[in-house]
Amino acid sequence: MTTQFLTLGNTLSSFLMAAKPHTWPENMITQCDANGYQCLLFRAIIDHKYEEETHIIEREEEKHQQDKTRGWTLAVEWKDGSTSWERLRDLKESFPIEVADYAVANNIHVKPAFSWWVKNVLRRRKKMIGSTNAKYIKRTHRFGLEIPKTVKRALEIDAENGSHLWQDAIVKEMEAVRVAFKILDDGKLPPPGYQRMECHMIFDIKLDGFRWKARLVAGGHQTEPPASVLTYASVVSRETVQIAFTIAALNDLQIKASDVQNAYLTAPCAEKIYTVLGLEFGTDAGKTAIVVRALYGLKSAGASFQRHLADCMRTLGYKSCMADADLWFKQETQPDDGLRYYAYILLYVDDCLCIHHDAENALYELDKYFPMKKGSIGDPDIYLGSKMRQVTLCNGVKAWSASPSKYVQEAVQNLET
């Protein structure tokens, strides 16, 4: 589908400008699932090829070569009449029996990439047939457009299409995330005790407005946090949320929600980490930098942000509840009748829920220290997966209800697909 879309005689950018409004998004969406991935119905495997790609693994100080599924691709014919080359590692997960049969028929089942799993699959054929899904979800594309895996490939796609959509997404992300890095002078080494890790970009296309999105994440799996650094971060419980909504209804208090902008980047990094900058840093690529903020992907990022936000809440006069540490309360006075009551702010990572006689201004006070996403301060819509709406009870009391409708709809949709 991508090939057909990009060979209409124009580049992607010029095609977007020439197309009638909403025509091309609707055409692409009808060929994708709810998440924008193309679903293809399998017919047969018609060919295979192998590009030699072995790698060295060190084990017990002994080097040896180990062949894996990498390098192997299979040509697949789909029921819509199209064909495409797909990686063996993907196909053997979606169509294990078909791939195993093809390997035996073409006498490649003795190859290292097949020998370790084909016999086992064929032996369990009868049990597996009932659970095999005939659909193959192509995760390399969304809405018919290729999702790059690297910055280099993202820029190549822009060049091929004559556009700068991915480049703009990268620039936007880097404007926000550069604050997390302290670039060292040329030739200067990181301080002793610092661990090296890699960072990489995650790319995606969002359905709302067809936004090209890039996010820089840390390879936190490559490092071990010091024993003195906590990595656990709690969140407010559903029971606390339900009780807080009841208190708001009984005391005629407002409920407003907000979302912290680039939450983790507001907190200092608790680990000793450095990295070598990639292509996304432009002229600084290849330089060494120390990570000074709680970059998304670090094992301690969530706990670092939670501690940083807790310090701010104490500064604003709030106290943490002993029964639920993510419920913060402060004594306030109703301006109408002078009634003393407790205002609450509930924290679920970067999602804030405020119960107050003037909840919006209370959140704007927090916004001075932790900038909120533009337009996020307002009535709650979705909170902890529940659909929120304000209702009037039979006694005239206004309250907020939480419905699992969104969760149920998605569950049914997942079952149907």
pLDDT digits (tens, 9 = 90+) for 298-325: 999 999 999 999 999 999 999 999 999 9
The number of domains in the chain is: 3
Same domain, 165 and 292: yes
Mean pLDDT of 328-343: 92
Residue 201: its pLDDT value, please?
A: 93
Same domain, 43 and 183: no
The DSSP element (H or E) to which 273 belongs, if any, is strand 273-276
* Per-residue pLDDT reduced to its tens digit, 201-236: 999 988 777 789 999 999 988 888 777 777 888 999
Same domain, 101 and 189: no
Q: Strand pairing of 273-276 and 195-196?
A: parallel
394: domain range?
A: 385-417
**Which comes out higher in pLDDT, residue 281 or 383?**
281
Same domain, 123 and 58: yes
> Is 113 part of a structural domain of the chain?
yes
For the chain, what percent of residues have pLDDT higher than 90? Answer: 44
Residue 11: its pLDDT value, please?
A: 38
Same domain, 355 and 244: yes
Same domain, 273 and 325: yes
Residue 206: its pLDDT value, please?
A: 84
Strand order in the sheet with 340-348: 254-259, 351-356, 340-348, 327-333, 319-320
Residue 31: its pLDDT value, please?
A: 54
Mean pLDDT of 127-137: 55
C-alpha–C-alpha distance, residues 327 and 345, integer Å: 6
Q: Does the reported pTM lie above 0.85?
A: no
Q: What residues are paired with 76 via a beta bridge?
A: 45, 84
Helices (DSSP H) in 221-340: which residue ranges?
238-250, 301-315
**Residue 321 Cα distances to 52, 236, 242, 349, 366, angstroms:** 60, 11, 15, 16, 18
| Residue 252 tokens, joined | 């005629």
For 401, residues 6+ apart whose C-beta sits below 8 A from its C-beta are 388, 389, 390, 391
